[in-house]
Amino acid sequence: MEHTLPHTISLLSRTPAALDALLRDLPEAWTLRNEGENSWSAFDVVGHLIHGERTDWIPRARIILQFGETKAFEPFDRWAQERESQGKSLGQLLDEFARLRSENLGELHALNLRQEDLDRRGRHPALGPVTLSQLLATWAAHDLTHIHQISRIMAHQYREAVGPWNAYLGVLQCAGHSAP
Amino acid sequence: MEHTLPHTISLLSRTPAALDALLRDLPEAWTLRNEGENSWSAFDVVGHLIHGERTDWIPRARIILQFGETKAFEPFDRWAQERESQGKSLGQLLDEFARLRSENLGELHALNLRQEDLDRRGRHPALGPVTLSQLLATWAAHDLTHIHQISRIMAHQYREAVGPWNAYLGVLQCAGHSAP
């Protein structure tokens, strides 16, 4: 389907509660383990989502609206959560993600975007020209890629416990398709 | 990690609320669309999870405890939800899944399983010998494989809307690894 702002917002507004319901107070054996060297735990992923709320989606939308293609976005730091999540609990991160997402959806609403705004182009430092519509669709799809990742990271912890059923569980065959 | 019953229960008890938070009242463009012919929508997946609660996990646990390897499990009908979900709304399915899961966790608790029970073997009609421990670990990993699938199905709907960002979104490269 084409990008529609109400569909994007409906998904963006649900992700914090979905992750909260899945992860809060879950044993750390599920949430702090990763898939091996240079990979992320569910805890790391929530930290990454927080960093996106702070530095990626709304800041980039503002750059597109203000500068168009004349100013490239700041590159996104994919390992920022290593610093920023230090000393925090997963519960604190889930709270922080929910608060920031809510604030950012308020900012998005206040932008009062019209179709001609959604068609405006900005410049991604690696991908080149992108539209505001594509940025906002990616915000939603980025949530989904990390729900996808979290379910895979957690399933990985049971890859041996399931015994011969591993052949039937698609999530255990998933290599992730992107780093990390 | 090895299978531990408390870890399995902690995950099983969260899945209904996580899916509820993600899917309830979401536009049907997200929940009723699939990935193409012979594939499932998020709505179909919730119906499949319901069928598992009715016919798979606890019934198979009872067969292991009662018959051991002498009686193979009934094969699981992977398309049962086509009949069983007809005429229902996604909200009704989410309610039904939550109710059945809660009842089944009550039954699991009442079985009062000891380690020697978890080590008991049953017979899968295709996979051969499996333990009760492996069955219960698979129940949890099966939730995760379908959260993984739902996030992929939904992301698929925005595969064009994200424009050049599709190269960065792992979920859009995922082919699913199992049918369907």
Positions of chain A with pLDDT lower than 50, given as ranges: 179-180
Predicted complex ipTM:
0.95
Which comes out higher in pLDDT, residue B174 or A136?
A136
At residue A125, φ and ψ (nearest 5 deg) are -60, -25
State which residue of chain B sits closest to A144, comparing Cα positions. B151
* Nearest-Cα residue of chain B relative to residue A6: B27
Helices (H), A3-131: 5-12, 15-23, 28-31, 42-55, 57-67, 81-84, 90-111, 115-118
B145-171 tens-digit pLDDT:
999 999 999 999 999 999 999 999 989
A161: nearest CB among B2, B10, B164 = B2
**3-class DSSP state of B49:** helix
Closest approach of B158 to chain A, Cα-based (Å): 6
Tens of pLDDT, residue by residue over B104-120, are: 999 999 999 999 999 99
3-class secondary structure per residue, B117-175: HHCCEEEECCCEEEEHHHHHHHHHHHHHHHHHHHHHHHHHCCCCCCHHHHHCCHHHHCC
Minimal C-alpha gap between A17 and chain B (Å): 6
Whole-number average pLDDT of chain B: 94
Please say whether the beta carbons of A127 and B167 come within 8 A: yes
* Tokens of residue A140, six digits: 């939603």
Within 8 A by CB and 6+ apart from B163, the residues are A130, A131, A134, A137, A138
Cα–Cα distance for residue pair A122/A52, rounded to 1 Å: 18
Which tens digit of pLDDT belongs to each residue from B17-54?
999 999 999 999 999 999 999 999 999 999 999 999 99
d(CA B1, nearest CA chain A) in Å: 6
Q: How far apart are CA B14 and CA B1, in angstroms?
A: 20
Q: Which of A2, A14, A154 sits opposite B26 (nearest CB)?
A: A14
User: Given pLDDT bands bounded at 50, 70 and 90, which one contains residue B177?
Assistant: low
Check CB contact under 8 Å for B164 and A124.
yes
Task: Tell me the chain A residues in contact with residue B130 when contact means C-beta distances shorter than 8 Å.
Answer: 163-165
**A–B: how many Cβ contacts below 8 A?**
205
Q: Cβ distance B60 to B122 under 8 Å? A: yes
- pLDDT at residue A78 in the model: 81
Among A14, A33, A173, whose Cβ lies nearest the Cβ of B21? A14
Token pair 């499949």: residue: B48
* Apex B102 CA angle, B101 and B106, nearest 5: 115
Buried b (16+ CB within 10 A) or exposed e, A50-65: bbbbeebbbebbebbe
User: How far is it, in rounded angstroms, from Cα B100 to Cα A13?
Assistant: 27
- Cβ–Cβ of A134/B161 closer than 8 Å? yes
B115 within 8 A of B103, measured Cβ to Cβ:
no
Q: For A126-169, how does the pLDDT look when each residue is reduced to its tens digit (9 = 90+)?
A: 999 999 999 999 999 999 999 999 999 999 999 999 999 999 99
- Facing residue for A178 by CB, picked from B17, B152, B173: B173
**Mean pLDDT for the stretch of residues B85-100:** 97
